[in-house]
Structure 1
Amino acid sequence: MTSTAVTEHRALLGEGPFWDAPTQALYWVDIAGKQALRLIGANVQIWQMPEHVSAFIPCDSGDALVTLSSGVYRLDLDSPGLEPRLTLFCVADPQPGNRANEARCDNQGRLWLGTMQNNIGEQGEDLPIERRSGGLFRIDRDARVTPLLRGLGIPNTLLWSDDGTSVYFGDSFNDTLYRHFIRTDGNLEPAQVWFGPHGRGGPDGSAMDAEGFIWNARWDGSCLLRLSPDGTVDRVIELPVSRPTSCVFGDSDLKTLYITSAASPKGHSLDGAVLAVRVDVPGKSCVRFAG
């Protein structure tokens, strides 16, 4: 498969791609660079955040949510890039020293947010992860926060079954993707191992296609793995970046995979780029935040 960079922008830690079908826009972030980015056509808009930002998700109300270290904020999309207008929406995880990481909306438009010990210095440098202090939280449109999991290392991947009875969730600290059944009261059953360690890097973010297969970005693995619903490897998609971080299906037919990536000591020319790869199966649409 042929991959191309969609812009000249190179992130320190690109993450959280979101395809907004109504506006045909791609949203993503540079966590370490403190940037929220949106691509419409050939136009890239960049909002410089005051803190590390892990996700950038449009809302039904017309603005967007950004998940910063200190909380979840609403961003006025009409505000200038160097002076973004931010309004605190909620604080999901009050644990000192934690930051937001993975975040996606379920089919009901509720935000699920995974947090972790902050591992990024003020200059974008890596810091060691010394504790499993992260959690998983669900945030409703009225800003009500429900804690779901505790003791997480590096939360990555948030995807749901079509019937809404299970969530696929990863902890990169364990090199494992899990499946949790969702109880009728909204809480989670204990984790079941769905896909364990693999020789091609560690698990990062994922997207689900229309056939229920999961496309998982492999940190330090230079590839995506397409995983069947029973958790076996269906195919390997080679990529010209060292550290792919996540992916999302986009374009009008949902057959373009947009793949974020991070800078790497290997220094490949496309490291940090957002790649576009055409595939033979459509993906599932992203869901805006319902508030």
Structure 2
Amino acid sequence: MAWTAVTEHRAQLGEGPFWDAPGQALYWVDIAGQQALRLSGEHLQVWQLPEPVSAFIPCESGDALVTLSSGVYRLDLGSPQAAPRLTLLCVADPQPGNRPNEARCDARGRLWLGSMQNNIGEQGEDLPVLRRSGGLFRIDADARVTPLLSGLGIPNTLLWSEDATQVYFGDSLDGTLYRYSIGIDGQLGPPRKWFGPHPCGVPDGSAMDAEGYLWNARWDGGCLLRLAPDGEVDRVIELPVSRPSSCVFGGKDLRTLYITSAASPLNHPLDGAVLAIEVDIAGKICHRFAG
């Protein structure tokens, strides 16, 4: 496969890719580098933030959300990249010592945010995850926060079935992807194990294609797994990075697969890059925050 690094930028911990179809732009973050990045054509913008950031998602109102350690903020996209203007939207998880991790909007434009014990030191170094203090929260356009799950280790992957009655959600500490039913009241049913553990690394972020197959990045596995709706492995896509962290479908026809990655002890040349490849099936769109 012909992989391309979309920019020269190399992240310490690249994550959270989001393709904005209306703006034809790619958004992602460097969590440990405290950067929110947007690529429009060949124009790269990098906003330097005051805290680790796990997601960067455009809003229908014209600004964007960034999920920082201290809360969910609105970022003024017209503000200076070295001194971005931030406005607090809400604090989803008030647990001291936690930080946000996975975040994505559902088809109604509500932000779902998973949190975990902070594992990033003051110099950006890795810290061990010693407790299951994380949770899953839903944030409406009016900033109302609804707790959904607690006792999580490392939340990763947030994707929904076509009829919005199921959510796929992973915990990397378990090495497992789960499926939850979504009740009429919006609360989640008990977890049902859907996939994993698997010898190719642990599950990180994912994207869903138009056939309902889930493409899962395998941290320390150097690959993506395309998983069928029944949880079986359909194919293995080997990557030139050792720590792929997430992926998203983009481009005009949603047939360009973008993969974020992180630095690793193996020091592969492309570690930390955002990779792109053309694939044979279109993906599903990302949804902006409704607020």
Q: Specify if TM > 0.5.
A: yes
Match of 1:178, as an amino acid?
A: Y
Could you report, residue by residue, the CA deviation over 1:39-86 in whole angstroms, capped at 9, with x for unpaired residues?
001110000010000000000000000000000000000001101000
Could you report, residue by residue, the CA deviation over 1:118-145 in whole angstroms, capped at 9, with x for unpaired residues?
0000111000111000000000000000
Match of 1:136, as an amino acid?
A: L
Quote the residue 1:236 is aligned against: 236
SS for the counterpart of 2:56 is strand
Question: For 2:113 and 2:93, how far apart are their aligned partners in 1?
Answer: 9
The answer to whether 1:54 aligns with 2:54 is yes
Match of 1:69, as an amino acid?
A: S
Deviation for aligned residue 1:93 = 0.1
Question: For 2:200 and 2:270, how far apart are their aligned partners in 1?
Answer: 19
Question: For 1:39 and 1:93, how far apart are their aligned partners in 2?
Answer: 30
Question: For 1:80 and 1:278, how far apart are their aligned partners in 2?
Answer: 33
Quote the residue 1:119 is aligned against: 119
SS for the counterpart of 1:248 is strand
SS for the counterpart of 1:174 is coil
Question: For 1:114 and 1:197, how far apart are their aligned partners in 2?
Answer: 20
**Mapping for residues 10-29 of structure 1, pairs under 5 Å:** 10-29=10-29
**Mapping for residues 1-291 of structure 1, pairs under 5 Å:** 1-291=1-291
Deviation for aligned residue 1:273 = 0.1
Question: For 1:265 and 1:42, how far apart are their aligned partners in 2?
Answer: 30
TM superposition outliers: structure 1 runs of 4+ over 6 Å: none
Deviation for aligned residue 1:32 = 0.2
Match of 1:20, as an amino acid?
A: D
Match of 1:109, as an amino acid?
A: G
SS for the counterpart of 2:221 is coil
Q: TM-score, normalised by structure 1?
A: 1.00
Question: For 2:35 and 2:122, how far apart are their aligned partners in 1?
Answer: 14
The number of aligned residues is 291
Q: TM-score, normalised by structure 2?
A: 1.00
Over the residues paired in the alignment, what is the CA RMSD in angstroms?
Answer: 0.4
Question: For 2:69 and 2:98, how far apart are their aligned partners in 1?
Answer: 7
Question: For 2:3 and 2:136, how far apart are their aligned partners in 1?
Answer: 33
